[in-house]
Structure 1
């Protein structure tokens, strides 16, 4: 029987039951992809992060309940939290090697962890009729696309009011992010919908900010911003655009520590 450490972390939150939960499993060596996917299905979280130590730091991979994905911010933050808080890691910067987006770093400054991620350019697109229909809206300011759809709305109240038909989004084949300027202490706000995934609405999506930060940096003419994502639960993100990279800052809280037993 193989025993694997298991952590559940509330990423982008300094309290339990906030932010976005992710499962994290440190490994001594890579298991078969089929096993990693089965573990992720069993965990039934939006993402499970797996990592293995290497000469540079750690190799990191992310799995949903359906497949391996190319980038996940909250699970990266959760993995870094585990390394810093539970594995007695002494440096202030963790170096991750990833299969799809190359090297990533996470730096600790007090209770805040900062992700160094690639910036994603979005391009304007004519919205499929199904997109607005499933969001339950008739108009928006604009629609853009990178890895996911980006739907820009007039104000924070409109973002909060959206009640989407998640299952009806599945034929579009993309995740959907809606966003607007913040009307209080935040520069911008967002929500992120995941048709076909175990979690229908992702509470806080680090990777979505790879496209949100460049977009709002241009619109607001500023490179440092404070953002909020979420509806029922969510979290705050310290955002910065630096050339072709984005810095995404957040906090994290350990919810559960256990063992996975593979027979």
Structure 2
């Protein structure tokens, strides 16, 4: 079987920035073990697998070690591939059937807009390992669905944070702060997902589903310009609309080819 493959840098307009994702277009189903092997072979934060389904596509995401329930950047990459290769018309709203329900993507000028579920959070006492990691150098901590959100005192604290991956090995953790006054960003963040085989994810759509609800009451607004301050870096526009989060970003293809299975 030949499988069309693309590697896309998402939430950026420049190659080698943003978050890299693999996108595989399937003409026939494959065993989960094969999908996981392809994702491990790619060794990217996520590999997306697309297959035609009724009015849209079945979309699944795999890290090198596990299947994910929700992934923003690989969804953005998938929509980009479908439009760039003329597999869908530019004016069509794309529908993706996923483990997190129906997700959509639409063109907004040079950007792609994703419609995702918002994630709330609740106050939490950090586990011992994370208290040891952050000591008293944080403002607030909450828990959202499957990850901790830790607000640090400044943007500089986020960019200069040195993670201890041993202390993070059992926890998915987002660190965040208000954007520095001399930047256009409302807030910045970094995301560590060691239990998923991704020490630091470059740019994370799913994290912004909870960051939007975290920052909305603190900043008194519903629309944000956000920056994820990983070594690769990436930015997106984020809009909170009730129980949904709209995320807008660009994408660029850097590799295309064929898997021979």
**Fold equivalence (TM over 0.5):** yes
Name the counterpart of 2:94.
94
Structure 1 position 133 matched with structure 2 position 152: no
Farther-moved stretch of structure 1 (103-112 vs 196-205): 196-205
Rounded to whole Å, the distance in 2 between the matches of 1:40 and 1:231 is: 22
**TM-superposition CA deviations, 1:203-262 (whole Å, max 9, x none):** 100000010011111111101110000231111110100010000110000000011111
**TM-superposition CA deviations, 1:40-97 (whole Å, max 9, x none):** 1111011100010111111100011111110000010011110111143113311111
Name the counterpart of 1:232.
231
Quote the RMSD (CA, aligned, Å): 1.2
Name the counterpart of 1:149.
148
Name the counterpart of 1:164.
163
Structure 1 position 177 matched with structure 2 position 174: yes
Name the counterpart of 1:112.
111
The 3-state SS of whatever aligns with 2:188 is strand
Which consecutive unaligned segments of at least 5 residues does structure 2 have? none
Instruction: Tell me by how many angstroms 1:197 deviates.
Output: 4.1
Contact 1:124 1:143 in 2 (8 A): yes
Alignment of 1:57-96 (within 5 A): 57-90=56-89, 91-96=91-96
Alignment of 1:30-49 (within 5 A): 30-49=29-48
Provide the aligned length of Structure 1 versus Structure 2.
Answer: 257
TM-score where L is the length of structure 2: 0.95
Moved over 2 A (4+): 132-135, 196-199
TM-score where L is the length of structure 1: 0.94
Rounded to whole Å, the distance in 2 between the matches of 1:192 and 1:35 is: 28
